[in-house]
Amino acid sequence: MNRRELLLSGAALALTPGFARAAGVKPIKIGVMNDMSGVYSDDQGIGSVIAAQLAVDDYAAKLGVGAEIVSADHQQKPDVGAAIARKWFDEDHVDVIMDLPNSAVALAVVAVATAKNKAVIGSGAGSSILTGAKCSPIFIHWTYDTYELGHAFGKTMTAAGGKKWFFITADYAFGKDLAGNCAAAVKAAGGSVLGEARHPLGASDFSSFLLQAQSSGADVVGLANAGADLYTTMKQAHEFGLTPKQKLACFVLNMTGIPALGLEVAQGSNVATPFYWDFNDGTRAFAKRYQGKHPKKMMPNDMHAGMYAATAHLLKNYAQTKDAEDGLKLVNAMKAMPTDDPLFGKGRIREDGRHLHPVYLMEVKSPAESKNKWDAFKMVSTIAANDAFRPLSEGHCPFIKA
């Protein structure tokens, strides 16, 4: 771990004074690892630390357990993520690692954790291979995945008339998996894929990719990227006049980017999400507390909500097991207990580690429909958990018996 990561870890700890301790029970130590400084820093970043700490504030003392949170920046590099994980487990006595946007980093961290029998919970991680071919019995995938996003969009938008697709894809595991899952759903629904352009992470000029999409004649341009890459693509697509002639399928568009992006650019885009801050009294109460602690006064997105919900469930199980040394034992306990929290409601963790919950198809409001800069989405439909996520039998997770 370099000096920068140590400083970030210290900064996170400074945000969380006075963590709860319970007599005779070692506090569980949770490491939040994500992008603190790059293209995903608003989508996860310090917001994930805040969300986890809110869960600790709400549940730890009530359950009679202690909890401590540390954090670090993986810099979008698998080797950095793996090195942080080894130091956390071997030297800093971290019990559980959480969040992990960037699926390549997530896979590297899961490999380290599997060898050391430590639990990992992904909220920002997206690739569905994490509960498929690359699954691990110590991993839980909480918020979303590329199968869920790809199939939700591919099936619904193709059925609605978007038969011809072109993809602009982030050139790493997450983007490729997302585009591949959507392409499969498009073809299954009777559509076709006309082409794909892949871009490096953190690109600033998407003109050549957008020109390819524009000239392809596609009905739908699928944006299989996220964070600042997604927002830049959408802004430049608007400038190039792609919309409304071609529909944009923005798979990972969420609340954190809407104000800067602007409703004029984003209006009419569809979003598939398990959480929206303005759903009900429970989500609004959480969002108000979260916003009050966020340095940029942002509202939470689904991945931040996933950090809160997953941390709450983790603490409930730690209160029963009182042992986080054995990662497999802890994860199996979490799978056995039904999930229930004010943000995701009732759900469960499947044998392969996939958390199951409903997903909601939302549409971005027009400027005329919105009451304030965070009033961005309106409900279109609800997708049941069993319809949203890949069937267990199709994941081919190696440790799941046929």
Q: In what order do the strands lie in the sheet with 345-349?
A: 339-341, 345-349, 355-356
Q: How many CB atoms lie within 10 A of CB 161?
A: 10
Question: Are 350 and 207 in a shared domain?
Answer: no
- The alpha carbon of 160 is separated from its chain's Cα centroid by a whole number of angstroms, namely 27
Question: Are 126 and 191 in a shared domain?
Answer: no
Give buried/exposed letters for 359-376 (b at 16+ CB in 10 A, else e): bbbbbbbeeeebeeebeb
Question: Are 24 and 131 in a shared domain?
Answer: yes
Domain membership of residue 398 (yes or no) is: no
CB within 8 Å of 27: residues ≥ 6 apart: 19, 20, 21, 65, 66, 67, 68
Q: What is the residue range of 221's domain?
A: 147-273+359-387
Question: Are 117 and 48 in a shared domain?
Answer: yes
Question: Are 264 and 297 in a shared domain?
Answer: no
Question: Are 259 and 383 in a shared domain?
Answer: yes
Domain membership of residue 402 (yes or no) is: no
Q: What is the dihedral of CA 308, 314, 319, 325, to 10 degrees?
A: -140
Domain membership of residue 400 (yes or no) is: no
Question: Are 245 and 382 in a shared domain?
Answer: yes
Question: Are 129 and 48 in a shared domain?
Answer: yes
**Residues 243-282: tens digit of each pLDDT:** 888 989 999 898 998 998 999 999 988 888 999 999 999 9
Round to whole Å and give the CA distance between 266 and 277. 18
List the beta strands (DSSP E) in 270-397: 270-273, 339-341, 345-349, 355-356, 359-364, 377-383
CB within 8 Å of 96: residues ≥ 6 apart: 28, 29, 30, 31, 118, 119, 120, 121, 314, 324, 327, 330
Distances (CA, A) of 309 to 31, 142, 149, 173: 16, 9, 20, 26
Domain membership of residue 397 (yes or no) is: no
Q: Work out how many domains the chain is built from and give that number.
A: 2
Largest CA distance in the chain: 67
159 strand-pairing partners: none
Question: Are 339 and 368 in a shared domain?
Answer: no
Domain membership of residue 396 (yes or no) is: no
CATH number of the domain bearing residue 135: 3.40.50.2300
Question: Are 65 and 15 in a shared domain?
Answer: yes
Question: Are 125 and 55 in a shared domain?
Answer: yes
The pLDDT tens digits along the chain (402 residues) read 443 443 344 444 334 433 444 446 799 999 999 999 998 899 999 999 999 999 999 999 999 999 999 999 999 999 999 999 999 999 999 999 999 999 899 999 999 999 999 999 999 999 999 999 999 999 999 999 999 999 888 988 898 899 999 999 999 888 998 999 999 999 999 999 999 999 999 999 999 999 999 999 999 999 999 888 999 999 999 999 998 889 899 998 989 989 989 999 999 888 889 999 999 999 999 999 999 999 999 999 999 999 999 999 999 999 999 999 999 999 999 999 999 999 999 999 999 999 999 999 888 999 999 999 999 999 988 889 998 999 999 999 999 986
Q: What pTM was estimated for this model as a whole?
A: 0.89
Question: Are 292 and 309 in a shared domain?
Answer: yes
**Residues 200-213: tens digit of each pLDDT:** 999 999 999 999 99
